[in-house]
Structure 1
Amino acid sequence: MQANIKGSTMPVLELQLGPGESVITPHGELSWMSPNVTMTQTTSAAGGGGFMNSLKRVAGGGGLFMTQYQATNGPGLVAFASKVPGHIVPVDIHPQRSILVHRHGWLASTPGVNVSVALQQSIRSGLFGGDGFRLQRLEGQGRAWIELSGELTRYNLGPGQTMLVHPGHVGMFDQTVQFTMTTVPGIRNKIFGGDGFFLVALTGPGEICLQSMPLPNLAHALLPYIGAESGSAGAAGGVVGAMLRG
Protein backbone atom coordinates (compact mmCIF):
# COMPACT_ATOMS: atom_id res chain seq x y z
CA MET A 1 0.00 0.00 0.00
CA GLN A 2 1.26 3.45 -0.96
CA ALA A 3 -0.19 6.56 0.66
CA ASN A 4 0.05 10.07 -0.76
CA ILE A 5 -1.26 13.18 0.96
CA LYS A 6 -1.94 15.76 -1.74
CA GLY A 7 -2.76 19.43 -1.46
CA SER A 8 -2.24 21.92 1.33
CA THR A 9 -5.28 23.78 2.71
CA MET A 10 -7.79 21.03 1.88
CA PRO A 11 -5.64 17.89 1.61
CA VAL A 12 -6.62 14.57 0.06
CA LEU A 13 -5.45 11.15 1.23
CA GLU A 14 -4.84 8.98 -1.85
CA LEU A 15 -4.18 5.27 -1.26
CA GLN A 16 -2.76 2.94 -3.91
CA LEU A 17 -3.91 -0.54 -2.88
CA GLY A 18 -2.18 -3.68 -4.05
CA PRO A 19 -4.27 -6.72 -5.05
CA GLY A 20 -6.17 -7.90 -1.99
CA GLU A 21 -5.09 -4.98 0.18
CA SER A 22 -7.78 -3.09 2.08
CA VAL A 23 -8.35 0.00 4.21
CA ILE A 24 -11.01 0.70 6.85
CA THR A 25 -12.80 4.04 7.27
CA PRO A 26 -15.73 5.45 9.23
CA HIS A 27 -18.98 5.29 7.30
CA GLY A 28 -19.25 7.79 4.42
CA GLU A 29 -15.67 9.02 3.96
CA LEU A 30 -15.21 8.11 0.27
CA SER A 31 -14.26 10.83 -2.25
CA TRP A 32 -13.35 8.75 -5.34
CA MET A 33 -11.97 5.33 -6.28
CA SER A 34 -11.07 3.12 -9.24
CA PRO A 35 -13.73 0.67 -10.53
CA ASN A 36 -11.99 -2.44 -9.21
CA VAL A 37 -12.16 -1.33 -5.56
CA THR A 38 -15.02 -3.00 -3.73
CA MET A 39 -16.91 -1.46 -0.80
CA THR A 40 -18.17 -3.59 2.09
CA GLN A 41 -20.14 -2.41 5.13
CA THR A 42 -18.94 -4.11 8.30
CA THR A 43 -19.22 -3.91 12.07
CA SER A 44 -16.40 -6.36 12.79
CA ALA A 45 -13.34 -4.50 11.43
CA ALA A 46 -11.17 -2.05 13.40
CA GLY A 47 -11.68 -4.05 16.59
CA GLY A 48 -15.44 -3.82 16.25
CA GLY A 49 -16.25 -7.49 16.60
CA GLY A 50 -19.05 -8.04 19.07
CA PHE A 51 -21.87 -5.79 20.23
CA MET A 52 -19.97 -4.18 23.14
CA ASN A 53 -16.92 -3.36 21.01
CA SER A 54 -19.17 -1.73 18.43
CA LEU A 55 -20.81 0.35 21.15
CA LYS A 56 -17.39 1.50 22.38
CA ARG A 57 -16.57 2.76 18.89
CA VAL A 58 -19.91 4.57 18.64
CA ALA A 59 -19.38 6.17 22.06
CA GLY A 60 -16.04 7.52 20.87
CA GLY A 61 -17.69 9.33 17.97
CA GLY A 62 -17.54 6.66 15.26
CA GLY A 63 -20.43 4.88 13.59
CA LEU A 64 -21.91 1.46 14.13
CA PHE A 65 -20.93 0.51 10.56
CA MET A 66 -17.57 1.00 8.92
CA THR A 67 -16.59 0.72 5.28
CA GLN A 68 -13.84 -1.56 4.01
CA TYR A 69 -12.33 -0.78 0.60
CA GLN A 70 -10.44 -3.65 -1.06
CA ALA A 71 -8.63 -3.85 -4.39
CA THR A 72 -9.70 -6.81 -6.55
CA ASN A 73 -8.33 -8.06 -9.89
CA GLY A 74 -5.20 -5.92 -9.66
CA PRO A 75 -4.11 -2.73 -7.90
CA GLY A 76 -6.68 -0.07 -7.11
CA LEU A 77 -6.98 3.53 -5.95
CA VAL A 78 -9.19 5.09 -3.30
CA ALA A 79 -9.14 8.69 -2.01
CA PHE A 80 -10.55 10.52 0.98
CA ALA A 81 -10.72 14.33 1.03
CA SER A 82 -10.61 16.43 4.19
CA LYS A 83 -13.89 18.01 5.25
CA VAL A 84 -12.47 21.31 6.55
CA PRO A 85 -9.18 23.20 6.09
CA GLY A 86 -6.43 21.46 7.99
CA HIS A 87 -4.04 18.52 7.82
CA ILE A 88 -4.07 14.76 7.36
CA VAL A 89 -1.46 13.17 9.63
CA PRO A 90 -0.17 9.57 9.28
CA VAL A 91 0.48 7.75 12.56
CA ASP A 92 2.06 4.32 13.04
CA ILE A 93 0.24 2.31 15.70
CA HIS A 94 1.91 -0.63 17.46
CA PRO A 95 1.77 -2.40 20.85
CA GLN A 96 4.16 0.17 22.34
CA ARG A 97 2.23 3.13 20.97
CA SER A 98 -1.47 3.82 20.91
CA ILE A 99 -3.02 7.27 20.59
CA LEU A 100 -6.11 9.18 21.65
CA VAL A 101 -7.83 11.32 19.01
CA HIS A 102 -10.67 13.83 19.06
CA ARG A 103 -14.02 12.31 18.12
CA HIS A 104 -13.96 13.30 14.40
CA GLY A 105 -10.24 12.70 13.87
CA TRP A 106 -10.02 9.11 12.59
CA LEU A 107 -10.09 9.25 8.79
CA ALA A 108 -8.81 5.81 7.73
CA SER A 109 -6.57 2.97 8.87
CA THR A 110 -5.20 -0.41 7.89
CA PRO A 111 -7.21 -3.40 9.14
CA GLY A 112 -4.95 -4.09 12.16
CA VAL A 113 -5.84 -0.83 13.93
CA ASN A 114 -8.57 -1.09 16.58
CA VAL A 115 -10.84 1.90 17.29
CA SER A 116 -12.74 2.35 20.56
CA VAL A 117 -13.66 5.02 23.10
CA ALA A 118 -11.16 6.50 25.56
CA LEU A 119 -12.85 6.16 28.93
CA GLN A 120 -13.33 9.39 30.87
CA GLN A 121 -11.58 9.60 34.23
CA SER A 122 -14.61 11.09 35.98
CA ILE A 123 -18.32 11.57 35.43
CA ARG A 124 -17.67 15.32 35.25
CA SER A 125 -15.41 14.78 32.24
CA GLY A 126 -18.13 12.92 30.39
CA LEU A 127 -20.90 15.36 31.24
CA PHE A 128 -19.13 18.69 30.80
CA GLY A 129 -16.06 18.02 28.67
CA GLY A 130 -17.90 19.06 25.53
CA ASP A 131 -17.80 17.83 21.94
CA GLY A 132 -14.06 18.41 21.69
CA PHE A 133 -13.33 16.00 24.56
CA ARG A 134 -15.09 12.88 23.31
CA LEU A 135 -12.04 10.85 22.44
CA GLN A 136 -11.32 7.83 20.25
CA ARG A 137 -8.61 5.35 21.22
CA LEU A 138 -6.56 3.85 18.37
CA GLU A 139 -4.48 0.79 19.21
CA GLY A 140 -3.29 -2.47 17.70
CA GLN A 141 -0.85 -2.78 14.79
CA GLY A 142 -0.87 -0.75 11.57
CA ARG A 143 -1.09 2.77 10.21
CA ALA A 144 -3.85 5.32 10.78
CA TRP A 145 -4.52 8.65 9.11
CA ILE A 146 -5.87 11.40 11.34
CA GLU A 147 -7.72 14.53 10.15
CA LEU A 148 -7.00 17.65 12.22
CA SER A 149 -8.46 21.09 11.54
CA GLY A 150 -6.52 24.32 11.10
CA GLU A 151 -2.80 24.52 11.85
CA LEU A 152 -1.02 22.02 14.10
CA THR A 153 1.24 22.62 17.07
CA ARG A 154 3.15 19.75 18.66
CA TYR A 155 4.65 19.59 22.13
CA ASN A 156 6.73 16.84 23.72
CA LEU A 157 5.83 16.92 27.40
CA GLY A 158 8.28 15.64 29.94
CA PRO A 159 7.26 13.54 32.95
CA GLY A 160 4.92 15.63 35.11
CA GLN A 161 4.85 18.55 32.65
CA THR A 162 1.28 19.81 32.06
CA MET A 163 -0.43 21.86 29.36
CA LEU A 164 -3.92 23.30 29.94
CA VAL A 165 -5.92 23.18 26.70
CA HIS A 166 -9.42 24.23 25.64
CA PRO A 167 -11.20 20.92 24.90
CA GLY A 168 -11.85 21.77 21.24
CA HIS A 169 -8.15 22.34 20.54
CA VAL A 170 -7.14 18.82 21.61
CA GLY A 171 -6.23 17.00 18.40
CA MET A 172 -4.45 13.84 19.48
CA PHE A 173 -1.91 12.66 22.03
CA ASP A 174 0.06 9.60 23.07
CA GLN A 175 -1.58 7.15 25.44
CA THR A 176 1.22 7.83 27.94
CA VAL A 177 -0.19 11.35 28.40
CA GLN A 178 -2.64 11.57 31.31
CA PHE A 179 -5.81 13.66 30.79
CA THR A 180 -8.08 15.21 33.38
CA MET A 181 -10.69 17.97 33.35
CA THR A 182 -10.12 21.15 35.32
CA THR A 183 -12.06 24.39 35.60
CA VAL A 184 -11.06 27.80 34.30
CA PRO A 185 -9.44 29.65 37.24
CA GLY A 186 -11.32 32.57 38.81
CA ILE A 187 -15.06 33.13 39.18
CA ARG A 188 -14.99 36.17 36.86
CA ASN A 189 -13.22 34.15 34.17
CA LYS A 190 -15.86 31.44 34.51
CA ILE A 191 -18.78 33.84 34.21
CA PHE A 192 -17.53 36.58 31.90
CA GLY A 193 -14.48 35.12 30.14
CA GLY A 194 -16.33 33.58 27.20
CA ASP A 195 -13.83 30.70 27.00
CA GLY A 196 -16.06 28.03 28.49
CA PHE A 197 -15.99 26.53 31.95
CA PHE A 198 -13.57 23.62 31.58
CA LEU A 199 -10.03 23.03 30.38
CA VAL A 200 -8.21 19.76 29.69
CA ALA A 201 -5.04 19.15 31.68
CA LEU A 202 -2.63 17.04 29.58
CA THR A 203 0.29 15.73 31.64
CA GLY A 204 3.38 14.04 30.19
CA PRO A 205 5.38 12.13 29.32
CA GLY A 206 4.40 12.00 25.68
CA GLU A 207 3.61 14.01 22.56
CA ILE A 208 0.48 16.12 22.19
CA CYS A 209 -0.80 17.59 18.92
CA LEU A 210 -3.11 20.61 19.18
CA GLN A 211 -5.36 21.96 16.41
CA SER A 212 -5.96 25.67 15.87
CA MET A 213 -9.51 25.54 14.48
CA PRO A 214 -12.04 23.47 16.43
CA LEU A 215 -15.18 22.80 14.41
CA PRO A 216 -17.49 24.49 16.98
CA ASN A 217 -15.37 27.65 16.69
CA LEU A 218 -15.69 27.56 12.89
CA ALA A 219 -19.45 27.13 13.11
CA HIS A 220 -19.68 30.04 15.56
CA ALA A 221 -17.61 32.26 13.25
CA LEU A 222 -19.92 31.49 10.30
CA LEU A 223 -23.12 32.01 12.27
CA PRO A 224 -23.46 35.78 11.48
CA TYR A 225 -23.43 34.96 7.74
CA ILE A 226 -26.23 32.40 7.81
CA GLY A 227 -29.68 33.05 9.13
CA ALA A 228 -32.76 35.05 8.33
CA GLU A 229 -31.12 37.08 5.57
CA SER A 230 -30.45 33.91 3.56
CA GLY A 231 -34.15 33.75 2.59
CA SER A 232 -35.18 31.27 -0.04
CA ALA A 233 -31.62 31.05 -1.40
CA GLY A 234 -30.72 28.81 1.49
CA ALA A 235 -27.78 28.84 3.84
CA ALA A 236 -25.14 28.76 1.10
CA GLY A 237 -26.72 31.72 -0.66
CA GLY A 238 -26.83 33.61 2.63
CA VAL A 239 -23.10 33.08 3.15
CA VAL A 240 -22.25 34.29 -0.36
CA GLY A 241 -24.62 37.26 -0.17
CA ALA A 242 -23.32 38.38 3.19
CA MET A 243 -19.73 38.18 1.96
CA LEU A 244 -20.55 40.23 -1.15
CA ARG A 245 -22.21 42.86 1.04
CA GLY A 246 -19.06 43.02 3.17
Structure 2
Amino acid sequence: MKTTIVGTTMPVLEITLEAGEQIIAEGGDVSWLTPGFDIETSTGFGSGGKGGFMSGLKRMVGGGQLFLTQYTASGAGGFVAFAAQLPGTIRELTIDPADQFMVQQGSYMASTPHVEVSVGLQTKLGAGIFGGAGVVFQKLAGQGTAWVQLAGEIVEYELQAGQSMLIHPGHLALYRAEMPLEFATIKGIKNKFFGDSLFLAKLSGPGHVWLQSMTPAKLAAAIEPYLPDKSSSSSS
Protein backbone atom coordinates (compact mmCIF):
# COMPACT_ATOMS: atom_id res chain seq x y z
CA MET A 1 0.00 0.00 0.00
CA LYS A 2 1.30 3.43 -0.94
CA THR A 3 -0.26 6.80 -0.09
CA THR A 4 0.23 10.20 -1.68
CA ILE A 5 -1.25 13.52 -0.56
CA VAL A 6 -1.62 15.84 -3.55
CA GLY A 7 -2.33 19.55 -3.50
CA THR A 8 -2.16 22.33 -0.93
CA THR A 9 -5.30 24.22 0.08
CA MET A 10 -7.77 21.47 -0.87
CA PRO A 11 -5.62 18.32 -0.78
CA VAL A 12 -6.46 14.90 -2.17
CA LEU A 13 -5.51 11.57 -0.58
CA GLU A 14 -4.52 8.93 -3.15
CA ILE A 15 -4.12 5.36 -1.88
CA THR A 16 -2.52 2.83 -4.23
CA LEU A 17 -3.35 -0.78 -3.33
CA GLU A 18 -1.74 -4.04 -4.37
CA ALA A 19 -3.87 -7.06 -5.26
CA GLY A 20 -6.16 -8.03 -2.37
CA GLU A 21 -5.34 -5.01 -0.19
CA GLN A 22 -8.28 -3.20 1.40
CA ILE A 23 -9.22 0.27 2.57
CA ILE A 24 -12.26 1.47 4.53
CA ALA A 25 -13.99 4.84 4.10
CA GLU A 26 -17.35 6.48 4.68
CA GLY A 27 -19.82 5.73 1.90
CA GLY A 28 -20.02 8.35 -0.82
CA ASP A 29 -16.75 10.06 0.13
CA VAL A 30 -14.73 8.54 -2.72
CA SER A 31 -13.73 11.09 -5.37
CA TRP A 32 -12.29 8.85 -8.09
CA LEU A 33 -10.77 5.38 -8.50
CA THR A 34 -9.47 2.97 -11.10
CA PRO A 35 -11.76 0.19 -12.40
CA GLY A 36 -11.84 -3.29 -10.93
CA PHE A 37 -12.28 -2.65 -7.21
CA ASP A 38 -14.57 -4.96 -5.27
CA ILE A 39 -16.77 -2.50 -3.34
CA GLU A 40 -18.85 -3.63 -0.36
CA THR A 41 -20.84 -1.66 2.23
CA SER A 42 -21.55 -2.90 5.77
CA THR A 43 -22.17 -1.74 9.33
CA GLY A 44 -19.38 -4.08 10.45
CA PHE A 45 -16.56 -2.23 8.70
CA GLY A 46 -14.53 0.22 10.77
CA SER A 47 -15.01 -1.89 13.89
CA GLY A 48 -11.45 -3.10 14.29
CA GLY A 49 -12.48 -6.61 13.27
CA LYS A 50 -15.23 -6.81 15.92
CA GLY A 51 -18.09 -6.21 13.48
CA GLY A 52 -21.75 -5.94 14.33
CA PHE A 53 -24.61 -3.47 14.02
CA MET A 54 -23.73 -1.86 17.37
CA SER A 55 -20.40 -0.72 15.95
CA GLY A 56 -22.28 1.21 13.28
CA LEU A 57 -24.52 2.81 15.91
CA LYS A 58 -21.47 3.95 17.87
CA ARG A 59 -20.11 5.63 14.75
CA MET A 60 -23.43 7.41 14.22
CA VAL A 61 -23.36 8.73 17.79
CA GLY A 62 -19.87 10.00 17.02
CA GLY A 63 -21.12 11.90 13.97
CA GLY A 64 -20.11 9.27 11.41
CA GLN A 65 -22.12 7.02 9.13
CA LEU A 66 -23.91 3.80 10.02
CA PHE A 67 -22.46 2.06 6.95
CA LEU A 68 -18.83 2.17 5.84
CA THR A 69 -17.51 1.07 2.46
CA GLN A 70 -14.65 -1.35 1.90
CA TYR A 71 -12.57 -1.15 -1.28
CA THR A 72 -10.65 -4.32 -2.22
CA ALA A 73 -8.11 -4.11 -5.05
CA SER A 74 -8.33 -6.60 -7.88
CA GLY A 75 -5.48 -8.74 -9.13
CA ALA A 76 -4.09 -5.81 -11.09
CA GLY A 77 -4.20 -3.47 -8.11
CA GLY A 78 -5.35 0.12 -8.43
CA PHE A 79 -5.81 3.39 -6.61
CA VAL A 80 -8.67 5.24 -4.92
CA ALA A 81 -8.76 8.96 -4.11
CA PHE A 82 -10.54 11.02 -1.45
CA ALA A 83 -10.71 14.82 -1.66
CA ALA A 84 -10.75 17.04 1.42
CA GLN A 85 -14.12 18.64 2.15
CA LEU A 86 -12.69 21.84 3.65
CA PRO A 87 -9.53 23.89 3.02
CA GLY A 88 -6.82 22.44 5.22
CA THR A 89 -4.53 19.44 5.44
CA ILE A 90 -4.63 15.63 5.53
CA ARG A 91 -2.66 13.74 8.19
CA GLU A 92 -1.73 10.07 8.38
CA LEU A 93 -1.95 8.41 11.81
CA THR A 94 -0.46 5.11 12.95
CA ILE A 95 -2.95 3.39 15.25
CA ASP A 96 -2.06 0.72 17.82
CA PRO A 97 -2.88 0.02 21.50
CA ALA A 98 -0.29 2.63 22.56
CA ASP A 99 -1.36 5.21 19.95
CA GLN A 100 -5.08 5.97 19.99
CA PHE A 101 -6.56 9.29 18.98
CA MET A 102 -9.63 11.48 19.36
CA VAL A 103 -10.60 13.36 16.21
CA GLN A 104 -13.30 15.97 15.76
CA GLN A 105 -16.56 14.92 14.10
CA GLY A 106 -16.32 14.89 10.31
CA SER A 107 -12.52 14.66 10.20
CA TYR A 108 -12.19 10.89 9.63
CA MET A 109 -11.45 10.08 5.97
CA ALA A 110 -10.28 6.48 5.63
CA SER A 111 -8.45 3.67 7.41
CA THR A 112 -7.10 0.17 7.05
CA PRO A 113 -9.51 -2.68 7.99
CA HIS A 114 -8.40 -3.23 11.61
CA VAL A 115 -8.83 0.36 12.76
CA GLU A 116 -11.87 0.88 15.00
CA VAL A 117 -13.88 4.07 14.47
CA SER A 118 -16.29 4.80 17.31
CA VAL A 119 -17.67 7.62 19.46
CA GLY A 120 -15.14 8.89 21.97
CA LEU A 121 -16.84 11.96 23.42
CA GLN A 122 -20.16 13.74 23.03
CA THR A 123 -20.88 16.90 25.03
CA LYS A 124 -23.89 19.18 24.68
CA LEU A 125 -22.88 22.84 24.83
CA GLY A 126 -24.33 26.05 23.43
CA ALA A 127 -26.61 25.59 20.45
CA GLY A 128 -25.62 29.02 19.11
CA ILE A 129 -21.99 28.07 18.51
CA PHE A 130 -22.28 24.35 17.88
CA GLY A 131 -25.54 24.17 15.93
CA GLY A 132 -27.33 22.31 18.70
CA ALA A 133 -25.21 19.19 18.13
CA GLY A 134 -22.68 19.88 20.86
CA VAL A 135 -19.05 18.82 20.67
CA VAL A 136 -18.45 15.33 19.24
CA PHE A 137 -15.17 13.45 18.91
CA GLN A 138 -14.58 10.09 17.28
CA LYS A 139 -12.06 7.64 18.74
CA LEU A 140 -9.59 5.88 16.44
CA ALA A 141 -8.34 2.66 18.05
CA GLY A 142 -7.37 -0.86 17.03
CA GLN A 143 -4.38 -1.55 14.77
CA GLY A 144 -3.42 0.00 11.45
CA THR A 145 -3.37 3.35 9.67
CA ALA A 146 -5.98 6.11 9.49
CA TRP A 147 -6.21 9.36 7.55
CA VAL A 148 -7.95 12.48 8.87
CA GLN A 149 -8.69 15.89 7.35
CA LEU A 150 -8.07 18.96 9.51
CA ALA A 151 -9.34 22.44 8.66
CA GLY A 152 -7.15 25.47 7.98
CA GLU A 153 -3.61 25.72 9.29
CA ILE A 154 -2.50 23.25 11.98
CA VAL A 155 -0.60 24.19 15.14
CA GLU A 156 0.78 21.35 17.27
CA TYR A 157 1.68 21.32 20.97
CA GLU A 158 3.29 18.70 23.18
CA LEU A 159 1.85 19.10 26.68
CA GLN A 160 3.93 17.77 29.56
CA ALA A 161 2.54 16.24 32.74
CA GLY A 162 0.94 18.99 34.80
CA GLN A 163 0.49 21.29 31.79
CA SER A 164 -2.93 22.17 30.41
CA MET A 165 -4.41 24.40 27.73
CA LEU A 166 -7.78 26.14 27.32
CA ILE A 167 -9.08 25.74 23.77
CA HIS A 168 -12.21 26.83 21.92
CA PRO A 169 -13.80 23.42 21.12
CA GLY A 170 -14.10 24.21 17.42
CA HIS A 171 -10.32 24.59 17.14
CA LEU A 172 -9.54 21.30 18.90
CA ALA A 173 -9.01 19.04 15.89
CA LEU A 174 -7.10 16.02 17.18
CA TYR A 175 -5.49 14.81 20.38
CA ARG A 176 -4.16 11.63 21.93
CA ALA A 177 -6.95 9.59 23.50
CA GLU A 178 -5.34 9.21 26.92
CA MET A 179 -5.32 12.98 27.57
CA PRO A 180 -7.96 14.18 30.08
CA LEU A 181 -10.48 16.61 28.57
CA GLU A 182 -13.12 18.63 30.41
CA PHE A 183 -15.24 21.66 29.61
CA ALA A 184 -15.42 24.76 31.75
CA THR A 185 -17.31 28.03 31.70
CA ILE A 186 -14.84 30.90 31.50
CA LYS A 187 -16.17 34.11 33.04
CA GLY A 188 -15.31 37.57 31.81
CA ILE A 189 -15.52 36.93 28.04
CA LYS A 190 -18.49 38.81 26.62
CA ASN A 191 -20.22 37.04 23.77
CA LYS A 192 -23.69 36.95 22.26
CA PHE A 193 -24.28 33.27 23.05
CA PHE A 194 -23.49 32.99 26.75
CA GLY A 195 -23.66 36.57 28.04
CA ASP A 196 -20.54 37.07 30.16
CA SER A 197 -19.05 33.57 29.89
CA LEU A 198 -17.74 31.15 27.30
CA PHE A 199 -17.32 27.37 27.21
CA LEU A 200 -13.75 26.29 26.57
CA ALA A 201 -12.16 22.86 26.52
CA LYS A 202 -9.44 22.18 29.07
CA LEU A 203 -6.97 19.61 27.76
CA SER A 204 -4.27 18.30 30.09
CA GLY A 205 -0.95 16.59 29.47
CA PRO A 206 1.00 14.55 28.95
CA GLY A 207 0.23 14.17 25.27
CA HIS A 208 0.14 15.74 21.81
CA VAL A 209 -2.60 18.01 20.47
CA TRP A 210 -3.36 19.35 16.99
CA LEU A 211 -5.27 22.65 16.77
CA GLN A 212 -6.94 23.89 13.59
CA SER A 213 -7.15 27.56 12.63
CA MET A 214 -10.47 27.14 10.80
CA THR A 215 -13.73 25.80 12.18
CA PRO A 216 -16.65 24.65 9.99
CA ALA A 217 -18.97 26.97 11.92
CA LYS A 218 -16.80 30.03 11.26
CA LEU A 219 -16.41 29.10 7.59
CA ALA A 220 -20.19 28.80 7.25
CA ALA A 221 -20.66 32.17 8.96
CA ALA A 222 -18.11 33.79 6.63
CA ILE A 223 -19.83 32.67 3.41
CA GLU A 224 -23.43 32.98 4.64
CA PRO A 225 -23.81 36.67 3.61
CA TYR A 226 -22.94 35.72 0.01
CA LEU A 227 -25.50 32.92 -0.31
CA PRO A 228 -28.79 33.55 -2.16
CA ASP A 229 -31.69 34.61 0.04
CA LYS A 230 -34.04 31.61 -0.07
CA SER A 231 -36.97 33.51 1.37
CA SER A 232 -36.85 36.22 -1.28
CA SER A 233 -36.38 33.64 -4.04
CA SER A 234 -39.41 31.64 -2.94
CA SER A 235 -41.63 34.73 -2.61
CA SER A 236 -40.70 35.95 -6.09
Tell me, yes or no, whether TM beats 0.5.
yes
d(CA) in 2 for partners of 1:128 and 1:41? 35
Deviates more, 1:95-104 or 1:193-202: 193-202
Equivalent position amino acid for 1:142 in 2:
G
Q: Can you list the C-alpha shifts for 1:177-235, whole angstroms capped at 9, x where unaligned?
A: 1110111222x625588898311111111000011111010000111111329976x9x
- Partner of 1:210 in structure 2? 211
Identity of counterpart residues, as a percentage? 43
One-letter code aligned to 1:224: P
User: Equivalent residue for 1:104?
Assistant: 106
**2:73 partner amino acid:** A
Paired residue for 2:85? 83
| Superposed displacement of residue 158, structure 1 | 0.6
- Say if 1:103 and 1:132, in contact at 8 Å, map to a contact too: no
CA deviations on 1:27-82 (whole Å, 9 max, x unpaired) are 21100000012221111111172232221111001110001111012211100011
Residue 223 of structure 2 corresponds to 222
Q: CA RMSD in A?
A: 2.3
* Mapping 1:114-125, distance limit 5 Å: 114-120=116-122, 125=123
Match for residue 126 of structure 1? 124
Contact in 2 for aligned 1:170/1:209 (Cα 8 Å): yes
Q: After TM superposition, which residue ranges in structure 1, 4 or more long, deviate above 4 angstroms?
A: 190-196, 229-232
Structure 1 counterpart of 2:219, one-letter code: L
- Match for residue 70 of structure 1 among 64, 69, 72: 72
Greater percentage in strand: 2
Aligned residue identity for 1:35: P
- TM-fit CA distance, 1:133: 2.2
SS in structure 2 of the partner of residue 30 of structure 1: coil
Larger displacement relative to structure 2 (77-86 or 51-60): 51-60
TM (norm. structure 2) is 0.89
Q: Deviations over 1:96-149 (max 9, x none)?
A: 1100000111000000100000145xxxx3354835720000001000001001
Q: Is the 8 A contact 1:157 1:204 kept in 2?
A: yes
Number of aligned positions between the proteins = 228
* Bigger proportion of residues as helix: 1
